[in-house]
Amino acid sequence: MGVIRHVVCAMSGGVDSSVAALLLKRMGYNVSGVFMKNWDSLDEKGVCTSDKDCEDASRSCQVLGIPFHQVSYVKEYWNEVFSNLLNEYEKGRTPNPDILCNKYIKFKHFCNYALNTLDADAMATGHYARTSQNDEEVFRQKNVAPPTSLFKDRFEVRQPVRLHQGADHFKDQTFFLSQISQDALRHTMFPLAGLTKDFVKKMAAEAGLHHVLVKKESMGICFIGERNFEDFILEYLEPQPGNLVSVEDGTIMGRHRGWFTLTLGQRARIGGQKDPWFVVDKNVDTGEVFVGPTTNHPALFRDTLQTGRFHWITVDPPPVLVKTQMMDCHFRFIHQMPLTPCTVTLNMDGSVWITLSQPIRAITPGQFAVLYSGGECLGSGRIMRLGPSQHTLQLGRERMAAASLDGPRPGPPDQAS
């Protein structure tokens, strides 16, 4: 009889992680469930649902007959995710805490806890994603010693593990996994890889996991809950009032309580206006937030952007990009938005320029540019700079056209001697 493998499954208290644990048990593994507490409800004024989620995770483990553990990463979350989030907002950017939480908490601290403290052969989550490894290849990674040198052994041949979209393309969550390390990916199983959300719900019902079926799908930033974002962020950052300025003619349309309370593309609350206005740009130096009169204003559309240093899932950039410094693939910066064809240019500092096949609305600094090729998630980079908007380009064309119409002014006529 073979060795029974020990798999630690991250339990969120939802249907996906509960069914992931169910599938692992049915595959004959020795399964443990662990709930992570990342936010301390005592530190906030609103209602936090983490206690209820913990109860639901514990109940799922009870129904499945597997051990249940709790682990707190409140301190780590504050230092590595939330402090980063506040810093980004102060700089005028809009961060994505879900991607950072996966990178630093679930696929770093939790992964270490599962493999080293609980002595698991692998960790598992309820994400809709898959890798290029089968289960046995994941288990073999446990016995591979980590590198002792800071430098890669050039004689070592180790095939990188790739991250692929799950079978349910609508629920696919590789977007949120686009910053995780190669080492963590090697030790991770995704039991829901080949399943659709509807089938997962059906399995939960048949297994008696009714308590997770009635829960709402978790949306938005977990620690904010049902509260207004502006009120929440102003509990942590000092108000920085400034003007709401029309991008069209410079008219002051109203006031705001801080540029960090607003993000590109959202509706701006301006009194006395018949039609809604939308945030199209920010100037952190002056505190001005620029607004436009329609949801699809040209100032919201851009087709070029630059990231910070790009995180490649396979560690190294794709060979074609290294060889030619350019590559065609697909882009998204919001989960579930349609993939857009793009051309990527690799810079010497590891950042990339991305040129899109068509302008996209409200590309936002601080969000992550996630790249895909043929169903594979290549990785992501934080958006740091934007190219000119369609509005700026149109103004430039109009100025050039006006200058050409004026033409050169005629000089004085030649005088006969």
pLDDT in tens, 366-399: 999 999 999 999 999 999 999 999 999 999 998 8
pTM equals 0.91
Q: What is the pLDDT of residues 57-75, one digit of tens each?
A: 999 999 999 999 999 999 9
Confidence at residue 51, expressed as pLDDT on a 0 to 100 scale: 84
Higher pLDDT, 410 or 91: 91
Confidence at residue 232, expressed as pLDDT on a 0 to 100 scale: 86
Mean pLDDT for 1-23 is 93
Whether the Cβ atoms of residue 261 and residue 230 lie closer than 8 Å to each other:
yes
Q: What is the pLDDT of residues 302-315, one digit of tens each?
A: 999 999 999 999 99
Which phi and psi (to 5°) does residue 5 adopt? -75, 145
- Torsion, Cα of 387, 91, 297, 304 (10° steps): 20
Confidence at residue 408, expressed as pLDDT on a 0 to 100 scale: 63
Confidence at residue 231, expressed as pLDDT on a 0 to 100 scale: 86
Confidence at residue 3, expressed as pLDDT on a 0 to 100 scale: 83
% pLDDT > 70, the chain: 88
Q: How is residue 340 written in tokens? A: 């857009």
Residues 6+ apart with CB under 8 A from 38: 50, 73, 74, 76, 77, 81, 101, 105, 222, 223
Coil, strand or helix: which one is 273?
A: coil
Q: What is the pLDDT of residues 208-241, one digit of tens each?
A: 999 999 877 765 565 555 567 888 899 999 999 9
3-state secondary structure 98-162: HHHHHHHHHHHHHHHHHHHHCCCCEEECCCCEEECCCHHHHHHHCCCCCCCCCCCCCCCCCCCCC
Residues annotated as catalytic are 101, 222
Does position 123 have pLDDT exceeding 70, yes or no?
yes
